[in-house]
Structure 1
Amino acid sequence: MSTESAIRDSIDEAATTVGSLWPIHSFVTANPLAGFEDQPFGEAVEQAATLLGGRGFPSAQTFGTALERGQIDRVILEEELTEAGYADDPETLLDRMADAADAVNGDADTAADHVDKVLTKWLSAFLDEGSAHWSMPNREAGFYTAFRGMAEYDSDIPDEGVVADLPEAPIEVIEAVLKSYPESQWVPIFEEQLAALPGWTRFIKQRAEDEGAWQSTYPISLEGYLAARLALLDAVDANIEPSNDVSNTNPADDLAQAFLRAWEATYREDLVGTVAAQSQSMDDSDTSGRPDAQLVFCIDTRSEVIRRHIEATGDYETHGYAGFFGIPMEYQGYDDDVSVDVCPPILDPQHHIIDCPTDDDTQARHDRRSGMRAAAADVIEILEANAATAYGYVETAGSGYGLSLAARTLVPGRVHDLIDAAAELVPDDHEFCEPLVHHQHTYSGDLSVGLTHEEQVEYAATAFDLMGFKEFSRLVVFTGHASETANNPYDSSLDCGACAGNPGGPSARVLAKVCNDEAVRAELRDRGFDIPEDTIFVAGQHNTTTDEVELFVDDVPESHSDDLDQLRTDLTTARENATTERAEAMGADGSTGVTETERRAADWAETRPEWGLAGNAGFVIGPRELTSGCDLDGRAFLHSYDWSTDPNGDALEAILTGPMVVTQWINAQYYFSTVDNAVYGSGSKVTQNPVGNVGVYQGNGGDLMAGLPLQSLMIADREPYHQPLRLSTVVHAPVERITDILADHEELTEILDNNWLSLTVVDPTQDHRVFHYEESLEWMPVSEQTEAHPEMPNAQAVADD
């Protein structure tokens, strides 16, 4: 193998330890330690601590608070501590854990710090995605070439070493710097250099892999980045020899793992107990009768709250399904300049969907009024980018602008009312546009425009298969979700994660249109989905900040007007109750839930418009009857599934390999952002500075922050609202079926065997017995169930079946 090939292979191997970071305008939650998932959780966080300096477990104070509040069962904790070899009482052990946390890190490498400062300056200039008014020259030639051309003009870069005569090709720079190091050290060297600015390198990796519009116009690669970095390190004579013998781990990590397992087991036992009890009662439940309406929500934990309150208002049936509604598409709205991916990051878009006008008069009214709104937005953008212009504008605009600033600050709730009133004057896209669903036999880039008839049938059938639909109401509502917030760099983190940090309404509209197509419905009936003639499919969008559910019903026939009126009335009631619950969770006092959530949505000084997915800890895969009527406190992802309608296990396989993996990513991001926000999160919003429309700094420069801000996780400075637990998945299905699926998917058994999440099965075919996944496709009957049913098969027997 040539030296060049060996270097490239070493870079690829080193890059596996670096996760991916999406731009903040389309924030995608992902496990920051995704590159370590091939290792047991404890070993992974230990290696990450050495490489990145991050803590991998909650603090002693966090564990202590959970213990005091009963979130950790003392009996379970004592069992875990005894099994781990600890004899002292929990309080003594927590003191020991706190003392161990005071370990001192080594001194910083000042030469490498200087290189970091230089690189972050150039990276922020090169990787800007539309916020800079003066662009870095020669970006279209690629990062390394642009850096090479500008380096001689940067007084912070010494004219020494390789920098004195930079080669044209980045691989030549790397080869020159590595010539005095044996090949066995190349991967460790690259790992440490990629970990030096992990936020930037994660973003570079994702952008290079995504190959989107910005990457195709202004290309960058890890190879080019490393070439620039190694050249700068050579110029300042920094030592790049890997320091693999230096450990930054906490000596009390083993003790912390025991506390964490007990905390997780306490939550899991409660969740599993609820599901198991409901599973037994399902045998005697009466499910006859057609519900007034069926609403399909995203599996997002915030949907659990609104679904519960909707069901309490009347005879409504709700379902959970991934919020992109199974259609991996790239979407371009009517007013949008560019397309966005609206599918999970583990999928590539397969279709290009655009909104096409169908009503000329409404379109003209929209264009006229939205044009004025866009002009105002341009003025605000200019003011934000230029302080001198801002002062002059405010002076010229006088009291009117001052009053608007004061209103935004002092009475944001009234501003929300005014925004709503103004928005009503501008027709929404769905009022005069329809998604172009039917296949156009044309392409946008590599993607076909629209869907073929066969694809439409497959997407609809897959949705109903995965959810276990057996009958259809007069109204079936596919409900996407989006957030509403002001002055928030992290607004996309509150939108639909299944839609890559974008609103889910467009996906809902596409599936509703597909299912209303008579030809599609005819084939669905042939496949066994008995869709009555009077069933109408409707799209909607759940505002997770205010809990308002908007229905897109411009073309619904008059025959269903009474159904819609009743549904709207009940949605209003459900909203009032849901917002009251959520406002209390945010510490609101003295105002109604609707008023408080609307204030938070409009207040440009509000650091916590909503809690997002904070609190997520569980994932239930099964019929809604398993959790209906149960208050899961907005902590569980809920995916509808009926094992009896899935004889081959194909639907369950799709859920385990898709939504379960995505929810584990989400859970891991919330976990690590909570346990070490400085390394894995993004610190306080108060001190953040957005950069390049791609991310945020803390302060005036440095590394891109990779995770969630403190305000999305903490209820006070040192008190987390989010309980940092690994995901507990509970599946209602035959255990043998799940064993077969896991046996076919090594990537699933890997994350389970390595304890990145847990999996428990309630088996309706074995008298609703409970089995917990252990390792290597083996299951352990839960002890309480074993005592009640001594004839239950042992773990190995279950695995062998």
Structure 2
Amino acid sequence: MNTTIASLERPNVRKQRAEDAAAVIDVDELVQNASKAIAPLWPIATFIARHPWLGLENLPFEQVARRLKAMQNIDIYPSMSMLRAAQRKGELNLKFLEIRLQRWLDEQSLALPREEAERFCRAALWHEEIPNQVLTSPQLKSLAAKAKGMRLPEDATRLPIRPLSLLLEQQGEGEWARMLDHHMIKWCKLFLDESQASWPLPYREKGFYYAWRKLVIDDPSLNKQQRKRLKDLPANAEDALRQALMMLGIPHEAMKDYLEAHLLSLPGWAGMLQWRSQQSGQAHLLLVDYLAIRLSLEWALIAPYLPIAQYKEDDETLLLPLLAAWMHWGGLTPEEWMRLPQAEQQARLSLADRFDKIVRGKLWLEAWEDTQEAQLKEKIAFDSPNNEQKQAIAQLIFCIDVRSEPFRRHLEQAGSFETYGCAGFFGLPIKTRELDSGYAHASCPAIVEPLHEVREYASAATIKEYRSRRSVPLSLSHTFKKMKQHLMASLLLPEMSGPWLGLHTLARSVAPSGAGRAFRQFLDNWSQKPKTELSLDRESSLEAADLPVGFSAEEKVRYVYRLLKGMGLTSRFAPLVVVCGHESETTNNPYASSLDCGACGGAAGGFNARVFAALCNRKEVREGLAKKGIVIPEDTVFVAAEHLTTVDELRWLYVPALSEAAQNAFEMLQGKLEEVSRNANNERLAKLPGLGRKTKDPLAEARRRAEDWSEIRPEWGLAGNAAFIIGRRQLTKHCDLEGKVFLHSYDWREDPSEESLANIIAGPVTVAQWINLQYYASTVAPHYYGSGSKTTQTITAGIGVMQGNASDLLAGLPWQSVMASDHEMFHSPLRLLVIIEAPRQYIERLLEDDPHFRQKVQNGWLRLVSIDPDNGQWEKWS
């Protein structure tokens, strides 16, 4: 047993010795390495897909699963109930499980008969845990005591580093870990608040640690002795963190793991601080503050209990589950076990140790993914290139979002329409600023740095009128909020507003669809937003503080060329090309931004669609494209629309003057949209709980769900996403992909340099992988990576949600976004399958030139398959 001694004296007593020991601690490096265990968390107003293991992709998925299980008791493989449900639904074929098992056994060095090993593993595969009555049986304990001399794997004897406050709690010495979390939640809420607090945290502008250090000595929730210990803390957060590590007695080699364990205790709040630091260009400064506060508080709380012994489990405790596995799954009795030679006992214990819950979960998940891949392969029909394809009357460019797939399919079935897919920001690295707005939103993926700002503008006279009309509801809203927060005015507010708000509540509850539409129309009619133009041309008079406004002539051509080339839309242009962004319309939904366009930073994609369409109609852009080999006919007109995913409708945003051919195409498309919308809604609503396929009016039902403020599932969002296909539309045009696949248009023949494929992998595929793993994590570990039920969530500090008033800041998706009911999942937790239609040498060069993508494939963070465009041969890469 190793015991670490820590002093109980105040910091200044052993100042010199502590300073000498702390001098060798590189705080920046420690925090930087520890922070890889968490991921940045965006505010909920721009809820962006969050890959919770982003900093751990250098490790295999299985290894991360082991670390999280050991440190936080988190399982990131699907549970047995999920696997059985998948098998019942036909999503998991057991033949693939058997193949995976045989492959795993082939890789092992077995010192027992293969048949017995197979029998044991097959029995173990169908169980998660050994029953407690088996583990606690006297016979088994007696057997473990006799087997103490057995050699155990080295890793089995190592316990993970855990916070000392948690160790005390596990030993029954109070609720110190819970108390520490409670204090950190309180201070994080105060520091990070954006809108809710009437009185801001004093000294907040001077930093988190500075404000906390100034105020904590008067915190009434701490006792006198605890406050006294915190009185003489260093003025600098780095020094405070060094000191706390020394006072807690953490060995230097364990410090990184110790900080990691503390970050994983509240990954939501820590993730928000990490995001704030990155946004302000301060690297991980706020995480240093956070850890300095947390460890200093931990020392102040548990100082009377120090030193705390770090211990290892004894051999008997470690042997119990291994022996129980052979008694329960291997069919051996204690008597039969004792008759085995020691070498054979050792071989069986070794197999039980290696074939643990993590390995079993890995085999099950891979079998599930193999089944999905096989089923998708059956659906996708390979056709050789057909140069005599019928010319489409209209072409529509959609976001790759999985919700676009059913709409695209029904649209193509309705007439001579052709669809394309790309990332919904349309390759435009821009911030957008709506008319008379003081806020510019980064309307591109989180991994893309905005390079331009595009603004809406109108004449000075119309803006003045618009501003005066819009100021009335804004002033009323501001006054209402101020009155709620004012001590005296809040007493009068219910009397003044009660009747009006009561009528509003009654109308929204009794007739949500009609009332919502009426209120929205009233506000639109009141504000009367004028017709606006876009600042597409570079204008020095409109320069923003940080970004140029508009584009140069060269930039306009470059962005349009890059997107058209990447999609393979370089010739055979239809008279009408519709650029479709997308958004979701919901009411009373904190997660509204999670249903909008992830490629547009959690906002609607209509603005980007409008910018791209307007650029494509510019004469100078078409002339520039012609010089690069892309000739757009004079009668081809680009228009912009928005796909409303909650109701599966198209809303027109920008329709310039149309040529005769474009006008005919526009009218034909308009005539088909209601039919397409009805069919798409029928398909989508059938998947929502409680509706089924007999909805009389799918359009009315979809609109009701969008307007109903009590609706917990206005739509499924991206639940079900499982694959990303990069290739020509003819691969999937006649397939019902059930809204589970991201579809990115790509023609390898138009990409001899392979630059377009590399850009798709670096951008859209990365964003889709983040989305996929966010849904995955929220499904397999909802208590840790999800956000619980929508019905019990609390919006806090204007930045996120909590359960109650003292939980972690919840980073994942609500239960209702991934589960059809308490016992039935909707989202299948599978890692993203990327399918690329391209020659083999394209894939080889891609993996060679992109080490980050190669790492994702090698370490199991996504799966890769290629389709040979000449013969349709599938090849799996690993």
Change in CA separation of 1:670 and 1:347 when aligned onto 2, cut-off 3 Å = same
Q: How far did 1:35 drift?
A: 1.9
The answer to whether the aligner puts 1:440 opposite 2:440 as a matched pair is no
Query: What does the per-residue CA deviation read over 1:212-241, in whole Å, with 9 as the maximum and x for residues that have no partner?
Result: 8xx99xx96111111111211111126698
Tell me if structure 2 keeps the 8 A contact 1:46–1:56: no
The answer to whether the aligner puts 1:634 opposite 2:739 as a matched pair is yes
The answer to whether the aligner puts 1:750 opposite 2:817 as a matched pair is no
The aligned runs of 1:192-211 (5 Å cut-off) are 192-211=261-280
Tell me if structure 2 keeps the 8 A contact 1:682–1:708: yes
The answer to whether the aligner puts 1:582 opposite 2:649 as a matched pair is no
Equivalent residue letter for 1:150: L
Equivalent residue letter for 2:64: A
Identify the range of structure 1 (640-649 vs 465-474) with the bigger mean alpha-carbon deviation: 465-474
Identify the range of structure 1 (742-751 vs 332-341) with the bigger mean alpha-carbon deviation: 332-341
Equivalent residue letter for 1:468: G
2:77 maps to which of 43, 57, 60: 57
Q: How far did 1:318 drift?
A: 0.7
| Secondary structure at the counterpart of residue 302 of structure 2 | coil
Give the structure 2 partner of residue 783 of structure 1: none
Equivalent residue letter for 1:112: A
| Secondary structure at the counterpart of residue 764 of structure 1 | coil
Give the structure 2 partner of residue 127 of structure 1: 192
Q: How far did 1:444 drift?
A: 2.6
1:156 maps to which of 200, 206, 221: 221
Change in CA separation of 1:99 and 1:302 when aligned onto 2, cut-off 3 Å = farther
Distance 1:251 1:634 in 2: 35
Distance 2:461 2:399 in 1: 33
The aligned runs of 1:334-413 (5 Å cut-off) are 334-358=435-459, 360-361=461-462, 363=463, 366-375=466-475, 377-378=477-478, 381=481, 393-397=493-497, 399-413=499-513
The aligned runs of 1:477-488 (5 Å cut-off) are 477-488=578-589
Tell me if structure 2 keeps the 8 A contact 1:189–1:241: no
Stretches of structure 2 lacking an aligned partner (at least 5 in a row): 1-20, 106-116, 137-165, 322-352
Q: Structure 1 length as normaliser, TM-score?
A: 0.89
Tell me if structure 1 keeps the 8 A contact 2:610–2:654: no
Equivalent residue letter for 2:91: Q
Distance 1:428 1:261 in 2: 55
Query: What does the per-residue CA deviation read over 1:575-615, in whole Å, with 9 as the maximum and x for residues that have no partner?
Result: 11111111111132544221122111111111111100000
Change in CA separation of 1:520 and 1:595 when aligned onto 2, cut-off 3 Å = same
The aligned runs of 1:459-474 (5 Å cut-off) are 459-469=559-569, 470-474=571-575
Give the structure 2 partner of residue 732 of structure 1: 837
Tell me if structure 2 keeps the 8 A contact 1:575–1:594: yes
Q: How far did 1:403 drift?
A: 2.7
Q: How far did 1:394 drift?
A: 5.0
Q: How far did 1:100 drift?
A: 7.3
Distance 1:564 1:541 in 2: 15
Tell me if structure 2 keeps the 8 A contact 1:416–1:601: no
1:452 maps to which of 535, 538, 552: 552
The aligned runs of 1:302-701 (5 Å cut-off) are 302-358=403-459, 360-361=461-462, 363=463, 366-375=466-475, 377-378=477-478, 381=481, 393-397=493-497, 399-422=499-522, 425=525, 432-441=531-540, 443-469=543-569, 470-557=571-658, 559=660, 560-587=662-689, 588=691, 590-701=695-806
Distance 2:132 2:538 in 1: 59
Distance 2:817 2:421 in 1: 24
Identify the range of structure 1 (343-352 vs 670-679) with the bigger mean alpha-carbon deviation: 343-352
Identify the range of structure 1 (471-480 vs 297-306) with the bigger mean alpha-carbon deviation: 471-480
Change in CA separation of 1:54 and 1:181 when aligned onto 2, cut-off 3 Å = closer
Stretches of structure 1 lacking an aligned partner (at least 5 in a row): 775-801
| Secondary structure at the counterpart of residue 768 of structure 1 | coil
Distance 2:750 2:641 in 1: 27
| Secondary structure at the counterpart of residue 648 of structure 1 | coil
Tell me if structure 2 keeps the 8 A contact 1:144–1:220: no
How many equivalent pairs are there? Answer: 763
Q: How far did 1:91 drift?
A: 9.5
Computed over aligned residues only, the root mean square deviation of the Cα atoms, in angstroms, reads 3.0
Tell me if structure 2 keeps the 8 A contact 1:365–1:426: no
Distance 1:605 1:391 in 2: 28
The answer to whether the aligner puts 1:41 opposite 2:61 as a matched pair is yes
Q: How far did 1:50 drift?
A: 2.6
Change in CA separation of 1:21 and 1:771 when aligned onto 2, cut-off 3 Å = same
Tell me if structure 2 keeps the 8 A contact 1:63–1:259: yes
Tell me if structure 2 keeps the 8 A contact 1:162–1:231: no
Distance 1:754 1:396 in 2: 61
Q: How far did 1:381 drift?
A: 4.9
Q: How far did 1:52 drift?
A: 3.4
Q: How far did 1:391 drift?
A: 8.2
Tell me if structure 1 keeps the 8 A contact 2:582–2:596: yes
Distance 2:486 2:787 in 1: 26
Tell me if structure 2 keeps the 8 A contact 1:614–1:721: yes
The answer to whether the aligner puts 1:140 opposite 2:205 as a matched pair is yes
Tell me if structure 1 keeps the 8 A contact 2:587–2:707: yes
Q: How far did 1:573 drift?
A: 2.0
Equivalent residue letter for 2:182: K
Query: What does the per-residue CA deviation read over 1:53-99, in whole Å, with 9 as the maximum and x for residues that have no partner?
Result: 32111111111111111111232233223434474599955652255
The answer to whether the aligner puts 1:172 opposite 2:239 as a matched pair is yes
Q: How far did 1:420 drift?
A: 4.9
Distance 1:242 1:749 in 2: 43
State, as a whole percentage, how many aligned pairs show the same letter. Answer: 34
Distance 2:123 2:675 in 1: 49
Equivalent residue letter for 1:71: E
Query: What does the per-residue CA deviation read over 1:151-183, in whole Å, with 9 as the maximum and x for residues that have no partner?
Result: 122112345475121221111111222234442
Query: Whose Rg is larger?
Result: 2
Q: How far did 1:337 drift?
A: 2.9
The answer to whether the aligner puts 1:293 opposite 2:387 as a matched pair is no
Tell me if structure 1 keeps the 8 A contact 2:35–2:263: yes
Equivalent residue letter for 2:296: A
Tell me if structure 1 keeps the 8 A contact 2:270–2:287: yes
Q: How far did 1:379 drift?
A: 6.2
Change in CA separation of 1:763 and 1:27 when aligned onto 2, cut-off 3 Å = same
Distance 1:608 1:90 in 2: 41
Tell me if structure 2 keeps the 8 A contact 1:52–1:679: no
Give the structure 2 partner of residue 10 of structure 1: 30
Query: What does the per-residue CA deviation read over 1:639-689, in whole Å, with 9 as the maximum and x for residues that have no partner?
Result: 000011111111111111221111111101100100010101111111111
Q: How far did 1:5 drift?
A: 6.9
Distance 1:502 1:240 in 2: 51
| Secondary structure at the counterpart of residue 489 of structure 1 | coil
Equivalent residue letter for 1:595: A
The answer to whether the aligner puts 1:115 opposite 2:135 as a matched pair is no
| Secondary structure at the counterpart of residue 81 of structure 2 | helix
| Secondary structure at the counterpart of residue 96 of structure 1 | coil
Distance 1:567 1:245 in 2: 70
Q: Structure 2 length as normaliser, TM-score?
A: 0.82
Q: How far did 1:424 drift?
A: 5.0
Give the structure 2 partner of residue 714 of structure 1: 819
Change in CA separation of 1:285 and 1:596 when aligned onto 2, cut-off 3 Å = farther
Distance 1:56 1:37 in 2: 15
Distance 1:733 1:319 in 2: 17
Query: What does the per-residue CA deviation read over 1:396-438, in whole Å, with 9 as the maximum and x for residues that have no partner?
Result: 4465532321121222122233245335525776x52222121
Q: How far did 1:251 drift?
A: 4.1
Tell me if structure 2 keeps the 8 A contact 1:319–1:639: yes
The aligned runs of 1:76-95 (5 Å cut-off) are 76-85=96-105, 87=118, 93=124, 95=126
